[in-house]
Amino acid sequence: DSGVTQTPKHLITATGQRVTLRCSPRSGDLSVYWYQQSLDQGLQFLIQYYNGEERAKGNILERFSAQQFPDLHSELNLSSLELGDSALYFCASSSRTDSTDTQYFGPGTRLTVL
Amino acid sequence: DQQVKQNSPSLSVQEGRISILNCDYTNSMFDYFLWYKKYPAEGPTFLISISSIKDKNEDGRFTVFLNKSAKHLSLHIVPSQPGDSAVYFCAASKPRAAGNKLTFGGGTRVLVKP
């Protein structure tokens, strides 16, 4: 158990809908990261927040957004969902934000868009 | 542009023998490398890391070797155990980037046969 929690574990929805994925980092960690794992793309970095502020962005679609709240939990919002958004979404956390900081991953949310 | 590559999609090894997993990278700016293990339906689990100022790091049965001139790292698991059967990802990060995003390889599926 990494100490990172994610809810829900599974999510099934229809195209065009909007969903929210939630992540609670390990106790004391200030950085939260979101990654997407799809069959053809592997694990791809989406976005990072550090202590409430956006720190880095990857190949995140404009239909996706995220935020980190004062209690440090984070939410990833996915809207106007398409079939291709079906994937595993992982949250990770770390204590700092420098390149030598190890990231610990949550169990993931499996999103299925029908 | 795949900056981190794991060219062997799968590896089969006998219990008790050595497993050697390889990873190549193209970006010389990467300064921190990590290996994660992933079981189905779980998030990646951190195994071991190495900074670019080192060429070897050991933790129990796991040893990571880094050859910066060849832009190559490897993970040795000795002795291999059936519980090591999983998908292994190498990942890399670079300094002075905004944030700390990890760039992942495509993974190597390891099967340890009893």
Q: Smallest Cβ distance to A94: which of B43, B89, B100?
A: B100
CB contacts under 8 A, B 54-83 vs A, are none
**Number of neighbours of residue B43 by Cβ within 10 angstroms:** 21
At B38-50, the pLDDT tens digits run 998 889 999 999 9
Average pLDDT, chain A: 93
- CA A19-A20-A22 angle, 5° bins: 150
pLDDT digits (tens, 9 = 90+) for B55-112: 999 999 999 999 999 999 999 999 999 999 999 999 998 876 656 789 999 999 999 9
CA–CA distance, A106 with A114 (Å, rounded to integer): 25
Backbone angles phi, psi at B93, to 5 degrees: -135, 160
Report which of residues B21 and A2 the model is more confident about.
Answer: B21
Contact between A94 and A39 under an 8 Å Cβ cutoff? The reply is no
* B17 Cα to chain A: minimum distance (Å): 28
Q: Give the confidence band of A98 by pLDDT, cuts at 50, 70, 90.
A: confident
Interchain contact, A103 vs B45, CB within 8 Å: no
